[in-house]
């Protein structure tokens, strides 16, 4: 008779409902669908963390029988706010990440030095000891077969490394972004930088598989550490959850809405190197050249924005067109995407820009609305859009090119609304887009778990 004992996998993650934002979606969908593939997740998460965005509605998506353990965490953000003079509750992620060369106050510079020197690998290191202790209790109580960690932040990878070493269990280290040297990681001086890189290398070495959300993460690691084997890195892209969309049939979702104004929506965070300035200049160019009627245009920005972004959205010609909304629950954000005529994607203007694939692009694909992507024409984003016929990438410096793309989509909307038919600039490929369903991608992770647990294990 077959063994009916559950196959338990221990998940170590900082982001967990009610955390909001893109960081939680990947882990949420994994644990939502893993049961369909014979795996039972057990969660090790922080107790009362200081999430920059919260979405209580996501708690409803968790399996009703999910086993959750919470370990205390020390987070330094309130101390940082007091030291730098920022109000309590101010989101630090969108107000601390600056463009290259941007000025910092003296208190911000001191705080950044402290962060880069003492918080290694990140500000969540205050969770390490309690999480390891709690993890050992979980391992003693349940017949865990494998461990999975989700990063960033990178502290969960160190926790999982310790638990894997303690138990002898196979471990998959999941990464949504690169570790050292990435644009939003601290600029450390030589000693803490050396320590951080040693930690990074040890995680890559000791994990059984390194699972990455975009291929550039693996390329970055292999370039930094030539001793690593390429076969260890497995790409499971981000995706969208069909269940999140009111119309489950992706072909039905492709029918555009009937809006009185041509509506372009951006959903997510905006800050320093990820800003809409070139896009706004392209819109201004269209208005000044009478190629678009501003009375028939809405620019909808939904999410959390740094102070400099609010200034950009207040430009004289732009401000009357802007519909600005604070962070909204995930389901409401998805609804706003579907009610749009086009979606705006902005990739951080940093040296690694060509390889970055933000998680939100897949949700945009799921909404089946054409994308205006401010990203290099030779990039991973451009390849994805070409594969799915979902839009076009235009270089940030190419303001006329951005204007042409906006104009094409505007004319398409105008033709539909006046009964002149549709120019069908982008005939999306549903069969290609459906490949990025979260349920399918969870099956890929389950396959990896089956593979690494198929042999004898040391406990």
Which tens digits make up the pLDDT trace of 142-180?
Answer: 999 999 999 999 999 999 999 999 999 999 999 999 999
Cα 376 to Cα 393: distance, rounded to the nearest angstrom: 6
Residues 267 and 410 occupy one common structural domain: yes
pLDDT for 421? 61
Angle at 203 between CA 198 and CA 207, to 5 degrees: 150
pLDDT tens for each residue of 225-275: 999 999 999 999 999 999 999 887 788 888 888 899 999 999 999 988 899
Residues 201 and 124 occupy one common structural domain: yes
pLDDT > 50? residue 198: yes
Query: For the chain, how many residues are written?
Result: 459
Q: What is the CATH number of the domain that holds 56?
A: 3.40.50.2000
Residue among 339, 344, 285 nearest 309 (CA): 344
Cα 235 to Cα 221: distance, rounded to the nearest angstrom: 13
Residue among 79, 160, 71 nearest 119 (CA): 79
β partners of residue 148: 11, 172
pLDDT > 60? residue 406: yes
Within 125-214, residue ranges assigned H as helices are 128-141, 155-167, 190-206
Q: 137 and 183 in contact (C-beta within 8 Å)?
A: no
pLDDT > 70? residue 393: yes
Across the range 198-212, mean pLDDT stands at: 98
Question: In this structure, what token pair is assigned to residue 262?
Answer: 């041509």
Across the range 44-72, mean pLDDT stands at: 94
pLDDT > 50? residue 2: no
pLDDT > 50? residue 92: no
Instruction: Report CA-CA distances (Å) from 331 to 66, 148, 241, 258.
Output: 22, 27, 11, 20
β partners of residue 345: 373
List the single range of 49-53, 105-109, 383-387, 400-404 with lowest mean pLDDT: 105-109
- Would residue 196 count as lying in a domain? yes
Residues 130 and 211 occupy one common structural domain: yes
pLDDT for 94? 43
Residues 219 and 252 occupy one common structural domain: no
pLDDT for 174? 98
Sheet holding 209-212, edge to edge: 67-72, 39-47, 7-12, 144-151, 171-175, 209-212, 233-235
pLDDT for 59? 95
- Match 């303690």 to its residue by tokens: 166
Residues 131 and 249 occupy one common structural domain: no
Residue 15, phi then psi, degrees to nearest 5: -80, 120
pLDDT > 80? residue 84: no
Q: 352 and 371 in contact (C-beta within 8 Å)?
A: no
pLDDT band at residue 361 using 50, 70 and 90 as cut-offs: very high
Residues 254 and 209 occupy one common structural domain: no
Q: Containing domain of residue 323, as a range?
A: 243-435
pLDDT for 456? 56
- Would residue 397 count as lying in a domain? yes
pLDDT for 111? 67
- State the Rg of the chain over Cα: 23
pLDDT for 458? 45
pLDDT for 247? 80
Question: In this structure, what token pair is assigned to residue 83?
Answer: 């030291």
Task: Respond yes or no on whether the N-terminal peptide bond of residue 121 is cis (omega within 30° of 0).
Answer: yes
- Would residue 190 count as lying in a domain? yes
Across the range 198-203, mean pLDDT stands at: 98
pLDDT for 79? 55
pLDDT > 50? residue 1: no
Cα 389 to Cα 391: distance, rounded to the nearest angstrom: 6
Per-state percent for the chain, helix, strand, coil, to nearest 5: 45, 20, 35
Across the range 371-377, mean pLDDT stands at: 96
pLDDT > 60? residue 40: yes
Cα 216 to Cα 179: distance, rounded to the nearest angstrom: 12
- Would residue 340 count as lying in a domain? yes
Residues 398 and 264 occupy one common structural domain: yes
Q: What is the domain count for the chain?
A: 2
Angle at 88 between CA 51 and CA 154, to 5 degrees: 30
Residues 27 and 131 occupy one common structural domain: yes
pLDDT for 70? 98
Q: Around Cβ 364, how many Cβ atoms within 10 Å?
A: 26
Residues 344 and 419 occupy one common structural domain: yes
For residue 400, the surrounding DSSP H or E stretch is helix 399-417
Cα 406 to Cα 292: distance, rounded to the nearest angstrom: 9
- Would residue 369 count as lying in a domain? yes
State the chain's mean pLDDT as an integer: 90
Number of H helices, E strands in the chain: 17, 13
- Would residue 459 count as lying in a domain? no
Residues 419 and 441 occupy one common structural domain: no
- Would residue 108 count as lying in a domain? no
pLDDT for 387? 95
List the single range of 95-99, 122-126, 137-141, 150-154 with lowest mean pLDDT: 95-99
Residues 126 and 13 occupy one common structural domain: yes
Q: What is the pTM of this model?
A: 0.91
Cα 431 to Cα 8: distance, rounded to the nearest angstrom: 33
- Would residue 323 count as lying in a domain? yes
pLDDT for 428? 86
List the single range of 76-80, 187-191, 342-346, 387-391 with lowest mean pLDDT: 76-80
pLDDT > 50? residue 141: yes
The three state secondary structure string of 16-76 is CCCECCHHHHHHHHHHHHHHHHCEEEEEEEEECCCCCCECHHHHHHCCCCCEEEEEECCCC
pLDDT for 154? 97
Residues 444 and 416 occupy one common structural domain: no
**Cα 239 → chain centroid:** 10
pLDDT tens for each residue of 273-319: 899 999 999 999 999 999 999 999 999 999 999 889 999 999 999 99
For residue 407, the surrounding DSSP H or E stretch is helix 399-417
């Amino acid at each position: 008779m077959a063994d009916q004992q559950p196959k338990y996998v221990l998940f170590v993650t900082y982001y967990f409902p009610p955390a909001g934002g893109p960081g939680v979606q990947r882990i949420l969908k994994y644990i939502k669908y893993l049961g369909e593939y014979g795996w039972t997740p057990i969660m090790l998460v922080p107790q009362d963390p200081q999430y920059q965005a919260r979405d209580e509605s996501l708690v409803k998506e968790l399996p009703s029988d999910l086993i959750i353990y919470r370990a205390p965490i020390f987070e330094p953000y309130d101390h940082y706010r007091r030291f730098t003079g920022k109000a309590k509750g101010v989101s630090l992620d969108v107000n601390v990440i600056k463009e290259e060369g941007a000025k910092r106050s003296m208190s911000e510079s001191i705080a950044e030095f402290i962060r880069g020197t003492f918080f290694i690998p990140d500000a969540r290191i205050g969770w390490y000891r309690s999480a390891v202790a709690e993890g050992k209790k979980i391992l003693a109580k349940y017949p865990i077969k494998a461990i999975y960690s989700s990063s960033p932040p990178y502290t969960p990878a160190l926790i999982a490394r310790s638990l894997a070493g303690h138990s002898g269990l196979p471990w998959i280290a999941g990464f949504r972004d690169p570790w050292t040297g990435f644009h939003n990681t601290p600029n450390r001086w030589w000693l803490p930088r050396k320590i951080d890189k040693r930690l990074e290398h040890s995680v890559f070495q000791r994990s059984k598989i390194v699972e990455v959300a975009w291929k550039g993460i693996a390329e970055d690691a292999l370039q930094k550490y030539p001793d690593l084997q390429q076969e260890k890195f497995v790409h499971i892209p981000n995706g969208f959850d069909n269940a999140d969309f009111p119309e489950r049939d992706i072909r039905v979702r492709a029918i555009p809405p009937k809006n009185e104004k041509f509506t372009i929506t951006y959903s997510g965070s905006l800050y320093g190197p990820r800003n809409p300035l070139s896009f706004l200049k392209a819109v201004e160019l269209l208005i000044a050249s009478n190629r678009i009627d501003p009375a028939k245009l809405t620019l909808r920005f939904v999410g959390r924005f740094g102070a400099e972004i609010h200034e950009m959205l207040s430009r004289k010609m732009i401000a009357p067109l802007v519909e600005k909304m604070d962070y909204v629950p995930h389901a409401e954000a998805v609804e706003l995407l579907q009610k749009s005529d086009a979606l705006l994607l902005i990739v951080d203007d940093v040296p690694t820009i060509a390889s970055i694939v933000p998680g939100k692009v897949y949700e945009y694909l799921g909404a089946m609305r054409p994308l205006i992507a401010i990203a290099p024409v030779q990039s991973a984003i451009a390849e994805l859009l070409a594969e799915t016929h979902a839009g076009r990438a235009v270089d940030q410096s190419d303001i006329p090119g951005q204007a042409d793309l906006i104009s094409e989509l505007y004319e398409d909307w105008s033709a539909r609304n006046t009964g002149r038919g549709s120019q069908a600039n982008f005939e999306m490929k549903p069969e290609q887009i459906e490949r990025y369903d979260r349920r399918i991608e969870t099956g890929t992770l389950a396959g990896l778990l089956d593979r690494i647990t198929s042999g004898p294990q040391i406990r």
